[in-house]
Protein backbone atom coordinates (compact mmCIF):
# COMPACT_ATOMS: atom_id res chain seq x y z
CA UNK A 1 0.00 0.00 0.00
CA UNK A 2 1.34 3.39 -0.97
CA UNK A 3 1.31 6.05 1.77
CA UNK A 4 -0.87 9.10 1.35
CA UNK A 5 1.36 11.46 -0.70
CA UNK A 6 0.25 14.62 1.13
CA UNK A 7 0.95 13.12 4.55
CA UNK A 8 4.23 11.64 3.30
CA UNK A 9 5.47 15.01 2.05
CA UNK A 10 4.42 16.64 5.32
CA UNK A 11 6.20 14.19 7.63
CA UNK A 12 9.37 14.03 5.49
CA UNK A 13 9.66 17.81 5.44
CA UNK A 14 9.00 17.92 9.17
CA UNK A 15 11.88 15.55 9.94
CA UNK A 16 14.31 17.53 7.80
CA UNK A 17 13.25 20.78 9.50
CA UNK A 18 13.70 19.23 12.94
CA UNK A 19 17.22 18.02 12.16
CA UNK A 20 18.11 21.32 10.50
CA UNK A 21 17.01 23.26 13.59
CA UNK A 22 19.75 21.55 15.59
CA UNK A 23 22.37 23.31 13.46
CA UNK A 24 24.12 20.08 12.50
CA UNK A 25 24.23 21.00 8.79
CA UNK A 26 25.59 24.49 9.28
CA UNK A 27 29.01 23.55 7.89
CA UNK A 28 27.92 20.98 5.30
CA UNK A 29 24.42 21.60 3.88
CA UNK A 30 24.83 18.81 1.28
CA UNK A 31 23.69 16.35 3.93
CA UNK A 32 20.38 18.22 4.14
CA UNK A 33 19.75 17.38 0.50
CA UNK A 34 20.49 13.71 1.20
CA UNK A 35 18.05 13.51 4.12
CA UNK A 36 15.41 15.32 2.06
CA UNK A 37 15.85 12.91 -0.86
CA UNK A 38 16.19 9.49 0.80
CA UNK A 39 12.77 8.10 1.86
CA UNK A 40 13.20 6.65 5.35
CA UNK A 41 9.86 4.84 5.27
CA UNK A 42 11.14 2.46 2.57
CA UNK A 43 13.80 1.27 5.00
CA UNK A 44 11.41 0.57 7.87
CA UNK A 45 8.44 -1.27 6.29
CA UNK A 46 7.81 -2.49 9.81
CA UNK A 47 9.23 -1.71 13.24
CA UNK A 48 8.46 -2.32 16.89
CA UNK A 49 7.38 0.11 19.58
CA UNK A 50 7.60 -0.72 23.25
CA UNK A 51 4.37 -1.50 25.06
CA UNK A 52 3.63 -2.97 28.46
CA UNK A 53 4.96 -6.50 28.49
CA UNK A 54 6.78 -6.39 25.16
CA UNK A 55 6.63 -4.83 21.70
CA UNK A 56 3.91 -3.76 19.28
CA UNK A 57 4.59 -4.19 15.56
CA UNK A 58 3.65 -1.36 13.20
CA UNK A 59 3.84 -2.08 9.49
CA UNK A 60 3.23 -0.61 6.08
CA UNK A 61 0.65 -3.18 4.95
CA UNK A 62 -1.58 -3.00 8.01
CA UNK A 63 -5.22 -3.06 6.83
CA UNK A 64 -6.16 -0.52 9.50
CA UNK A 65 -5.84 3.07 8.23
CA UNK A 66 -5.10 4.50 11.66
CA UNK A 67 -2.28 2.06 12.34
CA UNK A 68 -0.76 2.68 8.91
CA UNK A 69 -0.79 6.40 9.67
CA UNK A 70 0.95 5.72 12.99
CA UNK A 71 3.55 3.66 11.11
CA UNK A 72 4.25 6.45 8.62
CA UNK A 73 4.42 9.21 11.20
CA UNK A 74 6.69 7.04 13.34
CA UNK A 75 8.99 6.39 10.40
CA UNK A 76 9.66 10.14 10.18
CA UNK A 77 10.00 10.94 13.86
CA UNK A 78 13.45 11.87 15.10
CA UNK A 79 13.78 8.67 17.12
CA UNK A 80 15.47 5.27 16.84
CA UNK A 81 13.23 2.45 15.63
CA UNK A 82 13.57 -1.18 16.69
CA UNK A 83 13.54 -3.19 13.47
CA UNK A 84 14.62 -6.67 14.57
CA UNK A 85 13.73 -8.29 17.88
CA UNK A 86 14.37 -11.89 18.91
CA UNK A 87 13.27 -13.42 22.22
CA UNK A 88 12.73 -9.94 23.60
CA UNK A 89 16.28 -8.77 22.71
CA UNK A 90 16.94 -5.93 20.27
CA UNK A 91 19.16 -7.16 17.42
CA UNK A 92 18.97 -4.28 14.97
CA UNK A 93 17.53 -0.81 14.74
CA UNK A 94 17.30 2.28 12.58
CA UNK A 95 19.23 4.94 14.47
CA UNK A 96 17.84 8.32 15.48
CA UNK A 97 18.05 10.47 12.33
CA UNK A 98 19.53 13.52 14.08
CA UNK A 99 22.32 11.33 15.52
CA UNK A 100 22.91 9.87 12.07
CA UNK A 101 23.13 13.41 10.70
CA UNK A 102 25.70 14.36 13.36
CA UNK A 103 27.78 11.27 12.68
CA UNK A 104 27.72 11.74 8.91
CA UNK A 105 28.66 15.38 9.33
CA UNK A 106 31.56 14.40 11.61
CA UNK A 107 32.69 11.77 9.10
CA UNK A 108 33.85 14.74 7.01
CA UNK A 109 33.53 13.08 3.61
CA UNK A 110 34.96 14.54 0.42
CA UNK A 111 33.99 13.84 -3.20
CA UNK A 112 35.62 10.60 -4.29
CA UNK A 113 35.97 9.18 -0.77
CA UNK A 114 35.43 5.45 -0.35
CA UNK A 115 33.44 4.62 2.78
CA UNK A 116 32.99 1.38 4.71
CA UNK A 117 30.00 1.17 7.05
CA UNK A 118 30.11 -1.44 9.83
CA UNK A 119 26.55 -2.53 10.62
CA UNK A 120 24.15 -2.42 7.69
CA UNK A 121 20.99 -2.04 9.76
CA UNK A 122 18.07 -1.19 7.50
CA UNK A 123 20.31 0.23 4.76
CA UNK A 124 19.15 3.82 5.40
CA UNK A 125 22.58 5.12 6.41
CA UNK A 126 24.18 3.46 3.38
CA UNK A 127 21.57 5.14 1.18
CA UNK A 128 22.42 8.55 2.60
CA UNK A 129 26.11 7.90 1.91
CA UNK A 130 25.37 6.60 -1.58
CA UNK A 131 23.25 9.67 -2.35
CA UNK A 132 26.19 11.87 -1.39
CA UNK A 133 29.11 9.86 -2.80
CA UNK A 134 27.66 7.45 -5.36
CA UNK A 135 26.93 3.73 -5.11
CA UNK A 136 30.42 2.60 -6.13
CA UNK A 137 32.04 4.47 -3.25
CA UNK A 138 29.98 2.90 -0.44
CA UNK A 139 30.27 -0.54 1.19
CA UNK A 140 28.16 -1.72 4.10
CA UNK A 141 28.71 -4.99 5.95
CA UNK A 142 26.81 -6.98 8.58
CA UNK A 143 27.24 -10.39 10.19
CA UNK A 144 23.59 -11.39 9.82
CA UNK A 145 22.53 -12.51 6.31
CA UNK A 146 18.89 -11.68 7.06
CA UNK A 147 19.89 -8.11 7.85
CA UNK A 148 22.01 -7.70 4.72
CA UNK A 149 19.34 -9.20 2.47
CA UNK A 150 16.63 -6.89 3.80
CA UNK A 151 19.00 -3.89 3.59
CA UNK A 152 19.74 -4.79 -0.03
CA UNK A 153 16.03 -4.93 -0.81
CA UNK A 154 15.32 -1.62 0.92
CA UNK A 155 18.18 0.07 -0.93
CA UNK A 156 16.99 -1.22 -4.29
CA UNK A 157 13.44 -0.04 -3.57
CA UNK A 158 14.82 3.44 -2.91
CA UNK A 159 17.01 3.38 -6.04
CA UNK A 160 20.43 2.82 -4.46
CA UNK A 161 22.88 -0.02 -5.03
CA UNK A 162 25.99 0.28 -2.84
CA UNK A 163 27.91 -2.92 -2.07
CA UNK A 164 26.09 -4.83 0.70
CA UNK A 165 28.31 -7.56 2.15
CA UNK A 166 27.64 -10.33 4.64
CA UNK A 167 30.52 -10.96 7.02
CA UNK A 168 32.23 -10.12 10.29
CA UNK A 169 32.50 -6.34 10.40
CA UNK A 170 35.38 -6.62 12.87
CA UNK A 171 37.43 -7.97 9.97
CA UNK A 172 36.42 -5.08 7.73
CA UNK A 173 35.93 -5.80 4.04
CA UNK A 174 39.38 -6.17 2.45
CA UNK A 175 38.07 -6.96 -1.04
CA UNK A 176 36.64 -3.43 -1.30
CA UNK A 177 39.57 -1.61 0.35
CA UNK A 178 41.24 0.85 0.61
CA UNK A 179 38.90 3.22 2.44
CA UNK A 180 39.06 6.92 3.18
CA UNK A 181 36.39 6.71 5.87
CA UNK A 182 35.02 3.98 8.14
CA UNK A 183 31.84 4.55 10.14
CA UNK A 184 30.45 2.04 12.64
CA UNK A 185 26.83 1.96 13.74
CA UNK A 186 27.41 -0.53 16.54
CA UNK A 187 29.24 -0.13 19.85
CA UNK A 188 32.84 -1.34 19.98
CA UNK A 189 34.97 -2.57 22.87
CA UNK A 190 38.13 -1.62 20.94
CA UNK A 191 39.05 -0.59 17.40
CA UNK A 192 39.74 -3.68 15.23
CA UNK A 193 43.28 -3.67 13.83
CA UNK A 194 42.00 -4.93 10.47
CA UNK A 195 40.31 -1.59 9.87
CA UNK A 196 43.56 0.35 10.03
CA UNK A 197 45.19 -1.93 7.48
CA UNK A 198 42.31 -1.30 5.07
CA UNK A 199 42.52 2.50 5.36
CA UNK A 200 44.52 4.98 3.36
CA UNK A 201 46.89 7.18 5.40
CA UNK A 202 44.90 10.13 6.74
CA UNK A 203 41.63 8.18 6.77
CA UNK A 204 39.04 8.90 9.43
CA UNK A 205 37.31 6.28 11.58
CA UNK A 206 34.16 7.26 13.46
CA UNK A 207 32.73 4.70 15.86
CA UNK A 208 30.70 4.36 19.06
CA UNK A 209 32.90 3.26 21.96
CA UNK A 210 31.77 3.12 25.59
CA UNK A 211 28.85 5.60 25.40
CA UNK A 212 30.62 8.12 23.18
CA UNK A 213 31.81 8.62 19.60
CA UNK A 214 35.53 8.30 18.93
CA UNK A 215 36.98 10.03 15.85
CA UNK A 216 40.35 8.55 14.90
CA UNK A 217 42.83 9.68 12.27
CA UNK A 218 44.74 6.78 10.72
CA UNK A 219 48.47 7.34 10.26
CA UNK A 220 49.25 3.93 8.79
CA UNK A 221 48.30 0.27 9.17
CA UNK A 222 49.63 0.21 12.76
CA UNK A 223 48.79 3.64 14.16
CA UNK A 224 45.68 5.75 14.76
CA UNK A 225 44.71 8.35 17.33
CA UNK A 226 41.86 10.68 18.13
CA UNK A 227 39.50 12.16 20.69
CA UNK A 228 35.89 11.58 21.64
CA UNK A 229 33.25 13.95 20.35
CA UNK A 230 30.85 15.77 22.64
CA UNK A 231 27.88 13.68 21.48
CA UNK A 232 26.68 10.71 23.59
CA UNK A 233 25.86 7.56 21.61
CA UNK A 234 24.12 4.30 22.47
CA UNK A 235 24.12 1.53 19.87
CA UNK A 236 23.61 -2.21 19.65
CA UNK A 237 26.99 -3.90 20.38
CA UNK A 238 29.20 -5.21 17.60
CA UNK A 239 28.74 -8.94 17.06
CA UNK A 240 31.66 -10.97 15.76
CA UNK A 241 35.39 -11.30 16.36
CA UNK A 242 35.84 -8.13 18.43
CA UNK A 243 32.55 -8.28 20.32
CA UNK A 244 32.80 -7.11 23.90
CA UNK A 245 31.53 -8.99 26.92
CA UNK A 246 29.29 -6.72 29.03
CA UNK A 247 31.08 -5.51 32.13
CA UNK A 248 29.54 -5.84 35.58
CA UNK A 249 30.31 -2.53 37.26
CA UNK A 250 29.45 -3.53 40.85
CA UNK A 251 28.38 0.05 41.52
CA UNK A 252 26.95 -0.46 45.00
CA UNK A 253 27.92 2.28 47.42
CA UNK A 254 28.53 4.99 44.83
CA UNK A 255 26.81 8.35 45.37
CA UNK A 256 23.50 8.73 43.60
CA UNK A 257 24.53 12.04 42.05
CA UNK A 258 27.50 10.42 40.30
CA UNK A 259 25.41 7.54 39.01
CA UNK A 260 22.92 10.01 37.55
CA UNK A 261 25.70 11.72 35.60
CA UNK A 262 25.87 10.55 32.00
CA UNK A 263 29.53 11.62 31.87
CA UNK A 264 30.44 9.50 34.89
CA UNK A 265 28.74 6.49 33.36
CA UNK A 266 30.81 7.11 30.22
CA UNK A 267 33.98 7.04 32.33
CA UNK A 268 32.84 3.83 34.04
CA UNK A 269 32.33 2.14 30.69
CA UNK A 270 35.57 3.44 29.19
CA UNK A 271 37.70 2.25 32.11
CA UNK A 272 35.86 -1.05 32.64
CA UNK A 273 38.33 -3.75 33.59
CA UNK A 274 41.07 -1.21 34.41
CA UNK A 275 39.56 0.82 37.25
CA UNK A 276 37.05 -0.33 39.79
CA UNK A 277 34.05 2.02 40.10
CA UNK A 278 35.34 3.71 43.26
CA UNK A 279 38.69 4.44 41.59
CA UNK A 280 36.81 5.84 38.61
CA UNK A 281 34.75 8.04 40.94
CA UNK A 282 37.87 9.39 42.64
CA UNK A 283 39.42 10.23 39.27
CA UNK A 284 36.21 11.86 38.03
CA UNK A 285 35.99 14.09 41.10
CA UNK A 286 39.71 14.90 41.19
CA UNK A 287 39.75 15.96 37.52
CA UNK A 288 36.71 18.21 37.81
CA UNK A 289 34.13 15.92 36.20
CA UNK A 290 35.84 15.82 32.78
CA UNK A 291 33.80 16.08 29.60
CA UNK A 292 34.08 13.51 26.79
CA UNK A 293 36.28 15.71 24.61
CA UNK A 294 39.12 15.39 27.14
CA UNK A 295 39.31 11.64 26.49
CA UNK A 296 40.89 9.90 23.53
CA UNK A 297 42.10 6.61 22.12
CA UNK A 298 45.47 5.58 20.65
CA UNK A 299 46.28 2.45 18.67
CA UNK A 300 49.95 1.62 18.17
CA UNK A 301 50.93 -1.80 16.88
CA UNK A 302 49.45 -4.47 19.17
CA UNK A 303 48.53 -1.94 21.87
CA UNK A 304 45.43 0.17 22.26
CA UNK A 305 44.59 2.46 25.13
CA UNK A 306 42.21 5.18 26.22
CA UNK A 307 43.50 8.30 27.91
CA UNK A 308 42.55 11.53 29.63
CA UNK A 309 44.08 14.72 28.18
CA UNK A 310 47.38 13.18 27.01
CA UNK A 311 48.02 9.84 25.27
CA UNK A 312 51.31 9.62 27.17
CA UNK A 313 49.61 9.77 30.55
CA UNK A 314 49.42 9.98 33.47
CA UNK A 315 45.87 8.66 33.00
CA UNK A 316 45.80 5.78 30.50
CA UNK A 317 43.79 2.53 30.37
CA UNK A 318 44.25 -0.46 28.05
CA UNK A 319 41.29 -1.39 25.84
Active site residues: 95
Among candidate residues 146, 49, 148, the one with its CA nearest the CA of residue 59: 49
Strands, E, within 98-170: which ranges?
115-118, 138-142, 163-166
- Quick one: how far is CA 88 from the chain centroid? 22
Closest-CA residue to 39 (of 70, 6, 72):
72
Residues near 307 by Cβ (< 8 Å), separated by ≥ 6?
A: 295, 296, 297, 298, 313, 315, 316, 317
SS3 208: strand
> What is the rounded distance in angstroms from the CA atom of residue 310 to the CA atom of residue 265?
21
Between helix 124-133 and helix 97-107 the angle, nearest 10°, is: 40
Which element (helix H / strand E) includes 53?
A: none
Q: Distance between CA atoms of 177 and 179, rounded to whole angstroms?
A: 5
Q: Across-strand partners of 55? A: 50
Q: What is the 8-class DSSP label of residue 237?
A: B
DSSP β-bridge partners for residue 234: none
Q: How far is CA 287 from the centre of its chain?
A: 29
Amino acid sequence: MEPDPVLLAEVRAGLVREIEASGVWRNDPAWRAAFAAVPRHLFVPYYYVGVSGGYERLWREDPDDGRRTRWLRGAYTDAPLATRVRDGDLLSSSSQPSLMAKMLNELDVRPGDRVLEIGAGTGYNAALLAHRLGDDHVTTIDLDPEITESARQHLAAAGYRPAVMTGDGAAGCPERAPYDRIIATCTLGSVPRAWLAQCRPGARILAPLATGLIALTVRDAEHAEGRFLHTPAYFVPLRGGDARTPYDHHIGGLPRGALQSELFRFLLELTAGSLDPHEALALWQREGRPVRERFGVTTSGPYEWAWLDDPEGPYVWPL
